[in-house]
Structure 1
Amino acid sequence: MPLLEVNNLQIGLQTQRGPAQAVRGISFSLERGETLGIVGESGCGKSITVMSLMGLLPSSAKVTGSIKLDGQELVGLPEKQMCQIRGNRIGMIFQEPMTALNPVHTIARQVGEPLRLHRGLAKEQARKEALSLLDRVGIPDAASRLDAYPHQFSGGQRQRIGIAMALA
């Protein structure tokens, strides 16, 4: 069974000009250990496809087809169940890291949050694991940077922090 299986995914969005078919029948699968690249022209539906995998589409979006993660259907899954999967079983690393990082919270808090929510770690345990993850993704002098804010990192370092959050 594939890790991720998308069949005949169609996504309709409401626009000022009326309904628009953003994605028209895309299908793909991903086995454990495989990497999949989704490429295409600007506006062809790459981002909206990936957002649908995460259950992050606008409430007005109409989704048909099937998205299965380890055999579990995600299309139509209640938000409470999707929250248990999002960040725990499936994550996203945004191209522009400042869209994923909150400027008013420290890096320790942001990397530690999914560890506390999904793995039940206490605050201090989450902080230690966050430090380990920042080291793992190559943040220099990670121990002294845990209490820094996103604007205190370079763009490349912010992307690494996004990767650490996805790993968390």
Structure 2
Amino acid sequence: MKRLAALFVGLLLLARPAFAEFNPFGTDSLAQIETRRAGSDFVLVLWSVDCPPCLKELALFGTLTDARARQRLVLIVTDDPERHAEADALLARFKLTDLEHWAFDATEPERLRQRVDPAWFGELPRSYHYPAGQPRQARSGLIDAPTLGRWLGTSIPSTGHD
């Protein structure tokens, strides 16, 4: 009977969807990301489960088939930890669990926003393109496919919703 129960639990674990592993985003996290990715192009995207344009962006990111381009995306969810299960479900839905993911530490979200960018007032989605060897470029609002393609150096099929 124990073997049957162990087999059942094992099958359940294999059948469950893959979930993202969120890195806790604290006051020093942006510096860690920038240091680790220094000299490389990448795109940092802040999003929330309650942000309809953010969901459109996640859908766009899910269309990326170029593995190198996918590795250059860093996602940061700004929601409280109580919402992280919803964020996990969205990342799984859009097939983004393989991307680098961070989640705001709930203790001081306003302070974290200031650490990311003192000129950012919390509007979402918020993106930062880090071209190698150049200053980052900030953008508020939805990223369209042509812009994302330029930033990541790949072609992205238009979804008709850009």
TM-score interval, normalised by the smaller of the two chains: under 0.3
Task: Flag the structure with more relative contact order, 1 or 2, with Cα contacts below 8 A and sequence separation at least 6.
Answer: 2
TM-score normalized by the length of structure 1? 0.23
TM-score normalized by the length of structure 2? 0.24
